């Protein structure tokens, strides 16, 4: 997959927000938390978000090798959020790499409206904003 621009509304260089599922697992945002919650869904439409985790070689590989890496019953919150997967792959290094996380690409890849020139993402549909490449929001509209 080629390099792409991702705008994350949950994690900037200075601030990071996390989701915790009822089973005590820490996730970078609701998309990942929902994907985990729906992993046992039997209806294909509900299972869709989980596919974006499965299609992420790096993150899926980690979940296979260390299924409790983000489990608060096993690790402290600081240990979990400092894991390389959250410090590199699902963060700026990963977003700007040749192999960005599939979930982040699907939900938060920047699309440019060909008519207005406004930038938006699927997650931010209906809104329009500009941002710097380090993730700092700049303007709501051009
Ligand atoms: S899917 Fe990725 S880029 Fe989008 S909000 Fe979640 S962590 Fe951020």
Res. 46 pLDDT band, cuts 50 70 90? low
Examine the pLDDT at 127 and tell me if it is beyond 70. no
- Using CA atoms, how far apart are residues 93 and 133, in angstroms rounded to an integer? 12
- Give 79-119 pLDDT, tens digit per residue: 999 999 999 999 999 999 999 999 999 888 887 777 777 77
User: Of the residues 31, 99, 125, 134, which should be mutated to test ligand 1's pocket, given the most ligand atoms within 8 Å of the CB?
Assistant: 31
Calculate mean pLDDT across residues 24-48.
Answer: 83
> Which positions ≥6 away from 17 have C-beta within 8 Å?
10, 11, 29
- Which pLDDT belongs to residue 123? 64
């Amino acid at each position: 997959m080629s390099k792409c621009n991702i705008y994350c509304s949950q994690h900037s260089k200075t601030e990071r927000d996390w989701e915790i599922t009822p089973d005590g697992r820490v996730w970078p945002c609701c998309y990942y938390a929902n994907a985990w919650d729906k992993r046992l869904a039997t209806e294909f439409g509900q299972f869709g978000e989980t596919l974006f985790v499965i299609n992420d070689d790096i993150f899926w590989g980690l979940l296979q090798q260390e299924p409790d890496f983000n489990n608060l019953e096993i690790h402290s919150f600081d240990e979990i959020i400092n894991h390389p997967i959250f410090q590199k792959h699902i963060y700026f290094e990963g977003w700007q790499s040749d192999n960005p996380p599939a979930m982040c690409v699907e939900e938060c890849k920047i699309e440019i409206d060909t008519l207005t020139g406004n930038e938006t993402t699927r997650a931010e549909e209906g809104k329009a904003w500009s941002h710097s490449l380090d993730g700092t929001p700049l303007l709501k509209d051009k």
